[in-house]
Amino acid sequence: MITEVVPGLSYNSVTFDFIIHLDRNELRTIEFIGGRYNWSDALACYCDVGENTFTWEEAQSLAECFSKDTDGGHSMFPMLDVNSALHDKLSTLFIEVYI
């Protein structure tokens, strides 16, 4: 069974996989930010335009990278517009893995 958590992010409760759909602009954003932050660096290694499937273990690894950027009281996903669909997808993935 696949349930959509937020538009562009779904979860397969049978295989425990997360599926993130990225459009070209979202991927360009990740590539532009690149190695400046852990979140974008981790995603650049895994992602392409279209559907990107992550096992539960890979999602946990990504969430750990996401949390490293908050050391020292910083916000999650630096340089990413908090009103963007990409921010919604990544925030929800983080919450789904850690809660």
Q: What pLDDT digit, counting tens, does each position of 55-79 carry? A: 989 999 999 999 999 998 889 999 9
Q: What pLDDT digit, counting tens, does each position of 13-72 carry? A: 777 788 899 999 999 999 999 999 999 999 998 889 999 999 989 999 999 999 999 998
Nearest one of 66, 61, 55 to 90, comparing CA atoms: 66
Distance of alpha carbon 17 from alpha carbon 3, whole angstroms? 11
In order, the DSSP letters of 24-92 are HHHHHHHHHHGGGSHHHHHHHHH--SEEEEE-HHHHHHHHHHHHHTTGGGPPSSTTS-TTSHHHHHHHH
pTM of this prediction? 0.85
Query: Which residue ranges make up each domain of the chain?
Result: 2-98
